[in-house]
Amino acid sequence: MIMRESIVMKIHYGTALGAVFLVAIHIMMRMTMDFHDSLQYENVIANYEMIGYAILLELILILISVHGFNGLRVILLEMRQGQAYEKGVTYGCIAAMVVLVAYGSRTIIMTNMGMV
Amino acid sequence: MEKENKAKEGIKGWINPAKYGKFGIERFAWILMRITGLGLLAYFIGHIYETSSILDGPAAWESVLELTQTTEGHIFLSLVIGMCVFHTGNGIRLMLVQMGYGIGKPARPDYPYKPQSLNMKGKACIYATIGIAALAMWYGITVMFG
Amino acid sequence: MAVVHPKISEERPQTIVPSTKNVTLRIKRSNPEVSSEERFDELIVPVEKWTTVLDALLDAKSHLDHSIGIRYSCRQASCGSCGMKINGRPALACFTKISELDSNIITVEPMDNFPVVRDLAVNFSRLINNHKKIMPYVIREDSEIVPGTGVKEILQTPEDVEKYIQFSSCIKCGLCNSACPTMAMDTSFVGPQALAQAYRYIADTRDKGKKNRLQIIDESHGIWRCHAAGSCSQVCPKGVDPAMGIQMLRSYLLGIRD
């Protein structure tokens, strides 16, 4: 799958803008009550069980994974060049992205469905 | 290619502190963007792993909180807040610059050939972002330490 | 006709203070064709307040060490031959006065990110190849003026010229490529010089090759590896401001400009 670099960078900028907005909401949720209380087990579970909040977390997970690993890919591509290396970096970052999204989604979905 | 590999300045071109006095705040913002980006990615991966402990019940969650809700944990988190605010603010500035806003208009160059794109607006935005990040870190510390 | 004798003006006697002082030139010496050894030679040269780094180097070459390898030509910042690193910053030797440097020790080294030929002279093949890659000429179907058609020239308004004239001042000195942090690591990066020239032609109303040029630079080591660090514009001796050109070029690829 070969995507033009301009499309990849538009995705990079789009995910950045989306993530800024959603992470701001995520942080503000910690301020709906005392910071230390908001981290208590029951309150965290209650947050996850709200479908809207679960969707918010899932979106943050996807947006930041894409943005973060694409940024890492850019840095690694600048550090060294060569066809095999560049392919390895690109596919490695995509794989890491998928693994992180899968692992995080597992937490969100299982907690939201009460499987804790 | 081998000639080019030997010719390139290498990682010194990125991390040599002497460079940052010679090239202006924009270059400093560039390297800070990289450092904060990598730092935030590392934090994000740790955060996803840390929050997955909720699946193992209250005891596991409490033991993770014991690790993070410490003085060192709070200081680390305030650094993360600072990195996040800087990366966001500078990222927005970069997006605007890369769309062609705030870089001036082409004009016939004249001595002393001051570059229009490296103007006071851009520099002020970078300094403002660093200032806001510092403020956010301070606010985070006051919240976390009660 | 009466002869008018010029009045001898009354001159007060003055003490002329000599502005000559000595500075130490630290010149990086190397000859990659012979060995990988690099060293700094220290030579003391007298300078006046108007002496440029190039003047000092040529003085050292004439009187102290004939073997110093240096490239220069016009001595007036027109040809771009004498680019080098002066006290850690890429600059034209002919355009940098010793007095501006505020130091008695002047360290001169070959430009970064260029293979060294000998001492201060570097190989420009990569810059030239990247420059050729972006097709640095006006592209249009009717590029030949056909006699008898009544067309004598392709007209441009002063406003049309203002859009690109700044970028046409490029003298290919390579200082921007030397200063660029991406060029420091990425040997496949096109470089700020080529990207600024790509914009110069795209912004030229006579040119019809925008689509081709944008396709060439829209790749993983093209325009997207520029991160607006601005070092290229900091060091450009002709006010080309490559950073501005690159961001304006990027706005085409992002769909902000047509």
Q: Dihedral of the CA atoms A28, A32, A34, A40 (nearest 10)?
A: -90
Confidence at residue A72, expressed as pLDDT on a 0 to 100 scale: 96
- Model confidence over C97-110: pLDDT tens digits? 999 998 999 999 99
Identify which of C164, C256, C182 has the alpha carbon closest to the alpha carbon of residue C223.
C182
From the number of C-beta atoms within 10 Å of its C-beta (0-12, 13-18, 19+), residue B75 rates as middle
| Residues B88-145 pLDDT 10s | 999 999 999 999 889 999 999 888 888 999 999 999 999 999 999 999 999 989 988 8
Domain ranges of chain A: 5-112
Q: How far is A87 from chain C (nearest CA, A)?
A: 11
Which pLDDT belongs to residue C154? 83
Question: Rounded distance, CA A105 to CA B43, Å?
Answer: 17
pLDDT surpasses 80 at B21: no
Write down the pLDDT at residue B1.
56
Q: Residue C4 above 90 pLDDT?
A: no
Do C193 and C111 touch, CB atoms closer than 8 A? no
Count contacts between B and C (CB, < 8 Å): 146
Beta bridge partners, C92, equal: C83
Strands C116-118 and C105-109: unpaired
Q: What is the pLDDT of residue C52?
A: 96
Match 């501006």 to its residue by tokens: C100
Q: How far apart are CA C191 and CA C223, in angstroms?
A: 8
Assign C180 to helix, strand or coil: coil
Q: Which of B40, B31, B53, B137 is nearest to B88 (CA)?
A: B40
**Residue C224: band (very low, low, confident or very high) from pLDDT cuts 50, 70, 90:** very high
What confidence score (pLDDT) does residue B6 get? 62
Banded pLDDT at A37 (limits 50, 70, 90): confident
Chain B contact present for C8, CB below 8 A: no
Structural domains of chain B, with CATH: 15-145 (1.20.1300.10)
User: Scanning the structure block, which residue is given the tokens 């002393």?
Assistant: B112
The alpha carbon of residue C196 is apart from the nearest alpha carbon of chain A, in Å, by: 18
State residue C140's pLDDT score.
Answer: 85
Residue range A57-103, pLDDT digits in tens: 999 999 999 999 999 999 999 999 899 999 999 999 999 999 999 99
A76 Cβ contact list (under 8 Å, min separation 6):
A89, A93
pLDDT at B4: 58
State the Cα–Cα distance between residues B58 and C42, nearest whole angstrom.
Answer: 70
User: Which residues face C42 on adjacent strands?
Assistant: C26
pLDDT tier, C119 (very low <50, low <70, confident <90, very high otherwise): very high
pLDDT of residue C16: 62
Query: What is the average pLDDT score of chain A?
Result: 91
Beta-carbon-side half-sphere exposure of residue B79 (alpha carbons within 13 Å) = 13
Query: Smallest Cβ distance to C188: which of A9, A13, A81?
Result: A81
What's the confidence (pLDDT) of residue A97? 96
Q: What is the pLDDT of residue B19?
A: 66
Query: Which residue is associated with the tokens 């520029």?
Result: C226
Cβ-Cβ contacts under 8 Å, A86 against chain C: 220
Q: Give the gap in angstroms from C-alpha C217 to the nearest C-alpha of chain B.
A: 15
User: Cα separation of C175 and C185, whole Å?
Assistant: 16
User: CATH code for A5-112?
Assistant: 1.20.1300.10
Instruction: For residue C251, give the nearest of B4, B30, B99 by CB distance.
Output: B99
ipTM of the complex: 0.91
| C211-223 pLDDT per residue, tens | 999 999 998 899 9
User: What is the pLDDT, as a whole number, of residue C6?
Assistant: 57
Chain A with chain B: Cβ pairs closer than 8 A? 62
Interface of A with B in 74-113 (CB under 8 A): 75, 79, 100, 103-104, 106-107, 110-111
Helix, strand or coil, per DSSP, at residue C149: coil
Q: What is the largest CA-CA distance in chain C?
A: 83
Contact C186 A9 (CB under 8 A): no
Check A5 against C185: CB less than 8 A apart: no
> How confident is residue C256, by pLDDT bands cut at 50, 70 and 90?
confident
Average pLDDT over residues C196-207: 94
Tokens of A12: 């990079």
- CA pair distance A58, A52, nearest whole angstrom: 10
The sign of the CA dihedral C116, C121, C126, C127 is: positive
Single-letter residue type at B26: E
Closest residue of chain C to A3, computed from CA coordinates:
C219
pLDDT tens by residue, B31-83: 999 999 999 999 999 999 999 999 998 999 999 888 888 888 889 999 999 99
pLDDT tens for C139-170 read 988 767 777 877 777 889 999 999 999 999 99
Which other chains touch chain C, taking contact as 3+ CB pairs less than 8 Å apart? A, B
Report percent pLDDT > 90 for chain C: 79
Question: C4 CB near a chain A CB, below 8 Å?
Answer: no
Mean pLDDT, residues C109-117: 95
Percent of chain B with pLDDT over 70: 92
Give C74-97 as a DSSP string: -SSSSS-TTEEEETTEEEEGGG-B
pLDDT tens digits along C55-77: 999 999 999 999 999 999 999 99
> Would you place residue C202 in the very low, low, confident or very high pLDDT band (cuts 50, 70, 90)?
very high
Tokens of B40: 């935030």
The interface residues of chain B toward chain C in range 76-115, judged by CB-CB distance below 8 A, are 94, 97-100, 103-104, 106-110, 113-115
DSSP state of B53: G
